[in-house]
Amino acid sequence: MSVAERTDASPQDALAEAPRERRWPWWLGIVALLAASAALRVWGVGQGLPYAYNADENAHFVPGAIGLFGHGYNPYYFVNPPAYTYVLHAVLAGWFGGRAGVSEAFTTDPTQVWIVARLTAAFFGTLAVGVLYLAGTRLFGRAAGLLSAATLAFAFLPVFYSHLALNDVVTLAPVALSLWGTAGIVRRGRPVDYVLAGVGLGLACATKYTGGLVALPLLTAGVIRIVEERGRRRRAFGLLVAACVVSLPAFVAANPYAILDYEGLRDGLIHQSDAAGAAMGKLGLTQTSGHLYYLWTATWGLGWVPVLAALAGAVLLARAEPKLALVLVPAPILYVIFMGDQARFFGRWLLPAFPFACLLAGFAVARLVAFAARGRPRMAPAVAALATVLLLGQGVVMSLHSGQVLANADTRNLARDWLVKNVPGGTRIVVEPVVPDAWATDIGRPYRGTRNGARWAKYATSRSNVANDGSIVPGPGRIVNIEDYERTLYPGLVDRYEQKGYCWVVTGSTQRGRAEVQPRKVPNALPYYRELERRGRLVYEASPFRRGAKPVAFNFDWTFDYYPLAYDRPGPIMRVYRLQGGKCA
C-alpha cells in the first residue's frame, strides 16, 4: 500500500468522504471539545496570585517579556528559546497599553499580569487540541482525529501546565502544526503541507528546543514520498528541501537573536545542557532511571489506557501501513531514550511526545470501533461509548480534580495572611525559600519600617557559610539557591536565630521533603528540624491535604502538580514556629 493512500474498510473514512452537510456533527464535536478544553485550562488559573510560586514561572518568561520594554528585543537569555517571551511581550503591550501600563500593573497589581500570561498559555494549549484534530483527521479520519484531540484535551499534564506561564504547553501548538503538515505530506504531498510541516518545526524549536523532535517524522515522510513518487522524485525532493529551508526563517522570525547574538545562544544552550546533566543534580531527585521515570510519568500524565492504546496503535499501524508507522512511532521512542539519558528528569519535559501518543491512541480506538461496527453493527455505539470513557476517564477525573485543587487558596497565601494578622511589621522572621522574595512585601505598599520596604525583616537564607559538602566557607559566605538550601541547615542555626532576634520561623514541606527522601546527602538537615520543633512552639499550620489523607512523599512532580487525590489545595505544608530562648524569651 502506498503511503499516499488511506487505510480502507473503516467507517471514519466513509465519513471523511461524506457530503459536506453530513460533516456538521464532527465540527460540532470539535467545537464542544475545544470549549471543554479551554474551560479546564482556565479553571483555577489564578492559583497562588498575586505571587507566582512556581520558580520557573516566576523567573523566566513573564519577567523576560516585561524586560523587553526596557532593554530592547534581545532577551539576553537563551536557556529557553524566546518565542513565548515575544508572544507575551506583544500580548501584554496590547492588553495594558505599552510599557507604562505594564509597569504600573506589575508594580501595583501583578495578579492581572500573571493571569493574562497564563491565559495566553491556556490559549495555545487549547489551540494544540484543535490542530491535532486536523492532523489526526488527515491521517486516519474524523473519528480518530476527534479521539486523538480529546485525549490531549483531557490528559492531566497538558491541562495542569496550561495554568502556568511556561513554554511547555505552548510548544504543543507548533508541534501539532508540524504533524498536521507531515500528515499532509503522507496523504497528498501538496506544497502547502511541506510549508506547514517546516513552519511548525521552526516555531516548535523557537518555543522549546525539544520541540525539534518533529523534524524526524517530517524527514521520514519526505523520504518515503521521494521513494514512492517514481515519476516525480525531483519534485518531491525539492519540496522536502523547501520544508527544511522554510523551517529556518520560521525559527529566526521567532528567535531572531539566535543569529544576532550567537554567542548568547551558544552560552544558553551550554547552560541548558549542564542543567540537564549531573553537574547540577537536584537534592530530592531519588529516581535513578530517567527512562523508567518517563514511562511512569506517561501512566498518570497521559493515562494508563491512552498509553496502552498508543502501544496497540503502533502495532496495528505497523501491520496496516508500515511506512506510516515509520513516520509516527520512532520519534517518541527516541525522544524518551534521549531525555531518559539525562541526569535530571521532570514529567513536563515529556510533553512534546504526547501528540504522537494521542494520534496512535486515537487510531487504535477508532479501529476497534470500526471492527465492532463490521462484526456487530448494533453493538458499535455501545463499544464506541465504552472505549471513549475508558480512553478519557482517567484524564477527565484527574483534570477536574486539578481544577478544584487550584481554585482553592494556596497554603502559602494562608500562612502569609496569618502572619499579617499576628506578627507586627518590622519583626525579624526566617522564611524557607518556598516563596518568592515579594511574599514578604505588601505589593504596591512598601513598609517604611524596613530598608527594602518589606513588611518583615527576613533572615538571609540565600547566603550561607556552609558549603554543599558541609565545609565552612570563609568571609560573607556563598549564594544558595533553593535546590541547595537543605545542605546549609544544621541544629546550631536555631541558636543563631535566637541570638539575633529572629523569633518566628516559617517552614515549607517542599524544602524539608528533599531532606526526608535523601537524609544521607544532608545529614544535618533533619536534626535541624527536630531542634526547631523541640525549641519552638508551633503556632500555625496550613496543609494542602484533605482531612484524613496521607501526605504525599516528596517528588519533583507530585509535590508540585498536586496529582494525587490526597490534595485539597495547592502548596506545601506550611508551619510557623515561635522560638522561646535568647532575644525571643
Single out the residue of 184, 177, 173, 175 nearest to residue 221, CA to CA: 184
Decide: residue 323, CB within 10 A, 0-12 exposed, 13-18 middle, 19+ buried. Answer: buried
Per-residue exposure over 472-498, b if at least 16 CB sit within 10 Å of its own CB, e if not: eeeeebeebebbbbbbbbbbebbeebb
Q: Are 145 and 187 in contact (CB under 8 A)?
A: no
User: Which of helix, strand or coil describes residue 573?
Assistant: coil
**Separation between Cα atoms, residue 209 and residue 339, nearest integer Å:** 12
Q: Which residue type does 482 have? A: I
Kindly give the confidence (pLDDT) of every residue in the chain, 585 residues in length, as a single tens digit, with 9 standing for 90 and above: 444 444 444 444 544 444 454 677 888 999 999 999 999 999 999 999 999 999 999 989 999 999 999 988 988 888 889 999 999 999 999 999 999 999 999 989 999 999 999 999 999 999 999 999 999 999 999 999 999 999 999 999 999 999 999 999 999 999 999 999 999 999 999 999 999 999 999 999 999 999 999 999 999 999 999 998 877 888 999 999 999 999 999 999 999 998 887 887 777 777 666 555 544 457 888 888 889 999 999 999 999 999 999 999 999 999 999 999 999 999 999 999 999 988 788 999 999 999 999 999 999 999 999 888 887 778 888 888 999 999 999 999 999 999 999 999 999 999 999 999 999 999 999 999 999 989 999 988 888 888 888 999 999 988 888 777 677 777 777 888 888 899 999 999 999 999 999 999 999 999 999 999 999 999 999 999 999 999 999 999 999 999 999 999 999 999 999 999 999 999 999 999 999 988 998
**What are the grid coordinates assigned to 75, written together?**
532577551
Between CA 242 and CA 192 the distance in angstroms is 11
Give tens-digit pLDDT for 87-136. Answer: 999 999 999 999 999 999 998 999 999 999 999 999 999 999 999 999 99
482 three-state secondary structure: coil
Q: H-type helices in 155-261, by residue range? A: 156-160, 167-170, 172-187, 191-207, 215-228, 233-254, 257-260
Question: Rounded distance, CA 208 to CA 197, Å?
Answer: 16
Residue 74 exposed, middle or buried by CB count within 10 Å (0-12, 13-18, 19+): middle
- Amino acid at residue number 477: G
Residue 555 and residue 417 in contact, taking contact as beta carbons nearer than 8 Å? no
In angstroms, how far is the first alpha carbon of the chain from the final one? 84
Positive/negative CA dihedral, 564, 568, 572, 575:
negative
Of 289, 234, 250, 233, the C-alpha closest to 81 is 250
pLDDT of residue 231: 76
Give dist(CA 437, CA 304) in Å, integer: 40
* pLDDT, position 283: 85
pLDDT averaged over every residue in the chain: 90
H or E segment to which residue 100 belongs: helix 99-108
- d(CA 438, CA 52) in angstroms, rounded, equals 10
CA atoms within 13 A on the CB side of 540: 22
Task: Give a three-class secondary structure readout of 513-561.
Answer: HHHHHCCCCCCCHHHHHHHHHHHEEEEEEECCECCCCCCCCCCCCHHHH
> At a CB cut-off of 8 Å and minimum separation 6, what does 585 contact?
none
